[in-house]
Amino acid sequence: MTLTYVYSESIAVVGPLATYSEPHAYDLCEIHGAKLTVPNGWQVIRREINSGESGPSDEDLMAIAEAVREVATREIPNSNPNPNAVQSAIGRRGHLRSVPNA
């Protein structure tokens, strides 16, 4: 679970685990999330964890797959200063590396 404070409104929100970092958000285990208490005058909003909400959506997965396909089909210019050198079968594309099948 993720706990997020809204200091200006004296509210603490406890809900599903966040997928990104925020300055006033803290990840809690289920036990501590359930036992959370807040200062006097504060309000707690508890969002139930819905199993349908967990993980990326189908649209998110398709966007990631399309981005990977786009990068994979780009032509990489030959940056080898020696034109007589033999090209290696293993290429380097940014942080990804292709390894030939043995």
Residue 20's pLDDT is 77
pTM summary value:
0.46
Residue 43's pLDDT is 92
Residue 40's pLDDT is 93
CA distance 79 to 76: 9
Residue 94's pLDDT is 58
pLDDT along the chain (102 residues), means of 10: 87 84 83 88 84 67 80 68 55 59 64
DSSP assignment of 26-37: EE--HHHHHT--
